């Protein structure tokens, strides 16, 4: 940046530490002024929505959660509610809280850098911009009646019929017996997590000493779950696969 | 000065004053030497380092700030101002929310009609409602952006790990605040959005009546995680009251307390992060 390139002279002129009063306080004041004016103008121009009175006997189609949860609601297409509505949010919250304890890269603390922490930035941007923001945008604008996908120029036809042609993964592989299907599906899941974890530990074996086993283990589990969500979406859209594993109690 | 007869302003002279910025000091002098001013403020403010420190340290509203800070932390390009804007929007919802509370009753029979009353009969009612709602929505966006910037600058790295964790609680509470408020207008949008949202609790493993392994626990639609949340088996008046209490008392108190801790920690962790 310009500061780094210019000689030291400039830095000596202005002291490194400044008084909060007036430098920060006046900035906060100006910023507050701009935000409050913007908010007031916005509120004068656009009215908050108020529909007809609540009516428990009249379910709108589509029924949508508030917009900031539509990413999760969209995951419901691909996962059962126990995962999309309960386990996924908990994993997101816990996973976010773990970030400072899992990311042991000392570089890039307090300044913008892409080169010193490429993986971290890619993972966060993918999770935030694609899995969270893009799904919200899709949920707000493209999901119509029956939670079917409509392009912006298409009419939201409440009678649109979408053929249910999904099959479970064990079925696609020729398993017809419940027990064997469950064992096959469970095996696929175990293999996914097992091989993924094993491969990661093998590739990063040199880092094991410095990073620590627990850190690496948690890191790869969270990563595998995130990738797994993407895989499941691709399997559903591309290959009409409904569940990977089916049991009487829980299906994934 | 007061005795001088009024002069026709000389344009060239005036332009000169404006260009050199002298006009500001002249206006400031006029004001601070007026009787009104001198009778209100007995002595001036001397811009000394000591006074700059005292302005922060002896002011109850400003004292969560440090008295000195790194120059780079002032750069909008670094912080995007998003944390501060989030806090400001929170304060706006507190002020407008209290005003709305004067007119709103969280009762099935009244809630919706109180909204109508607010919109059509209460002076500035519609404006208060709009500001409350738009500030709340904007806050959700700014808190996400704040978090994004904190991630991009790696500011969660030691020694700021705990403040990041507090931040994750804050983003969760921000969403919950917005979600509980969503039900209060008691219109179709509110009821069904909250129905969709709270239906998820039904699927909680072990504790929701449709969740995995529920049969081993024995929960019922009337007695499970969702019923605890909405006080019944569907979104009705008890849910309205619960969400109202959570929205107006419980969550704002916790979120407000966490924000104070958040700001305190910024200071104790050595101020805004920056290259060492
Ligand atoms: C109600 C929500 C929040 C409020 C009002 C808030 C407010 C602030 C403010 C005013 C700052 C000063 C610097 C700046 O403006 O960027 C800050 C810094 C910080 N915030 Fe937040 N914040 C909130 C939520 C969050 C969240 C969700 C996270 C992360 C998960 C977070 C993590 C941090 C960290 C780590 C810092 C220190 C940044 C640094 O040193 O560069 N905060 N917060």
**A55, B191: Cβ pair inside 8 Å?**
yes
Q: For chain A, which residues make up each domain, given as ranges? A: 65-107+115-155, 163-252
- Give me B251's structure tokens: 């969550």
In a domain, B67, yes or no: no
For the stretch B153-168, pLDDT in tens is: 999 999 999 999 999 9
Name the more confident of A118 and A1. A118
Is the CB of B251 inside a 6 Å radius of any atom of ligand 1?
no
Task: Decide if A99 touches B, using CB distance below 8 A.
Answer: yes
| Mean pLDDT, all residues of chain B | 93
| Mean pLDDT, all residues of chain A | 91
Domain carrying residue B242: 77-268
- Candidates B68, B66, B64, B82; CA nearest to B151 is B82
Give the list of residues 6+ apart from residue B275 with CB closer than 8 angstroms, or none. Answer: A110, A111, B72
Distance CA A204, CA A206 (A): 5
∠ CA A46-A47-A48, rounded to 5° = 125
Predicted pLDDT of residue A177: 87
> Is pLDDT at A4 greater than 70 in this prediction?
no
**A108, B154: Cβ pair inside 8 Å?**
yes
In a domain, B26, yes or no: no
- Give me B40's structure tokens: 């209100």
In a domain, B1, yes or no: no
Predicted pLDDT of residue B5: 66
Is the CB of B262 inside a 6 Å radius of any atom of ligand 1?
yes
- Give me B273's structure tokens: 């992060």
In a domain, B38, yes or no: no
In a domain, B34, yes or no: no
Distance CA A10, CA B171 (A): 39
b/e burial code for range A142-180 (CB count within 10 A of at least 16 → b): ebbeebbeeeeeeeeeeeeeeeeeeebbbbeeebeeeee
- Candidates B136, B95, B239; CA nearest to A68 is B136
> Is pLDDT at A197 greater than 70 in this prediction?
yes
In a domain, B165, yes or no: yes
CATH of the domain at B94: 1.20.810.10
Region B65-69 average pLDDT: 90
In this prediction the pTM is 0.91
In a domain, B273, yes or no: no
The structural domain count of chain B equals: 1
Distance CA B18, CA B12 (A): 10
In a domain, B159, yes or no: yes
- Chain B, nearest residue to A122 by Cα: B152
Task: Decide if A145 touches B, using CB distance below 8 A.
Answer: no
Task: Decide if B263 touches A, using CB distance below 8 A.
Answer: no
């Amino acid at each position: 940046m310009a500061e780094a390139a210019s000689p030291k002279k400039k830095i000596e002129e202005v002291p490194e530490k400044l008084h909060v009063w007036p430098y920060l306080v006046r900035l906060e004041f100006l910023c507050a002024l701009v935000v409050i004016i913007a908010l007031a103008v916005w509120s004068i121009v656009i009215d908050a929505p108020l529909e007809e009175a609540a009516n428990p006997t009249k379910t709108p189609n589509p029924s949508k959660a508030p917009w900031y949860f539509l990413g999760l609601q969209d995951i419901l297409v691909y996962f059962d509610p126990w995962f999309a509505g309960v386990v996924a949010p908990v994993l997101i919250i816990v996973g976010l809280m773990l970030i400072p304890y899992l990311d042991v890269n000392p570089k890039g603390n307090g300044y913008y850098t892409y080169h010193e922490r490429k993986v971290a930035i890619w993972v966060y941007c993918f999770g935030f911009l694609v899995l969270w923001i893009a799904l919200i945008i899709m949920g707000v604008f493209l999901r119509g009646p029956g939670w079917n996908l409509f392009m912006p120029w298409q009419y939201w036809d409440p009678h649109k019929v979408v053929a249910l042609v999904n099959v479970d993964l064990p079925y696609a592989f020729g398993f017809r017996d419940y027990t064997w299907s469950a064992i096959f599906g469970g095996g696929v899941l175990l293999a996914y997590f097992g091989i993924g974890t094993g491969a990661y530990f093998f590739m990063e074996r040199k880092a094991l000493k410095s990073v620590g086993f627990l850190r690496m283990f948690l890191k790869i589990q969270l990563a595998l779950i995130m990738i797994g969500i993407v895989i499941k979406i691709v399997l559903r859209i591309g290959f009409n696969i409904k569940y990977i594993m089916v049991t009487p109690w829980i299906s994934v | 000065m007061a005795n001088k007869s009024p002069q026709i302003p000389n344009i060239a002279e005036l332009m000169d004053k404006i260009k050199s910025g002298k006009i500001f000091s002249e206006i400031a002098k006029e004001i601070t030497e007026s009787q009104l001013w001198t009778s209100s403020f007995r002595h001036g403010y001397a811009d000394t380092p000591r006074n700059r420190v005292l302005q922060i340290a002896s002011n109850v509203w400003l004292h969560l700030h440090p008295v000195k800070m790194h120059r780079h932390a002032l750069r909008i390009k670094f912080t995007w101002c998003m944390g501060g804007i989030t806090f400001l929007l929170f304060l706006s919802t507190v002020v407008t929310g209290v005003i709305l509370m004067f007119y709103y009753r969280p009762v099935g029979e009244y809630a919706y009609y109180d909204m109508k009353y607010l919109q059509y009969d209460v002076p500035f009612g519609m404006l208060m409602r709009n500001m409350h709602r738009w500030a709340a929505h904007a806050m959700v966006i700014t808190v996400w952006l704040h978090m994004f910037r904190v991630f991009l600058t790696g500011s969660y790295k030691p020694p700021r790990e705990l403040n990041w964790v507090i931040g994750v609680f804050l983003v969760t509470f921000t969403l919950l605040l917005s979600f509980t408020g969503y039900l209060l207008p008691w219109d179709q949008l509110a009821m069904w959005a909250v129905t969709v949202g709270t239906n998820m609790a039904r699927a909680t493993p072990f504790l929701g009546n449709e969740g995995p392994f529920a049969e081993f626990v024995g929960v019922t639609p009337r007695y499970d995680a969702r019923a605890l949340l909405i006080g019944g088996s569907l979104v009705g008046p008890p849910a309205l009251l619960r969400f109202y209490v959570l929205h107006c008392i419980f969550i704002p108190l916790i979120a407000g307390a966490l924000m104070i801790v958040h700001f305190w920690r910024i200071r104790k962790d050595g101020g805004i992060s920056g290259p060492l």
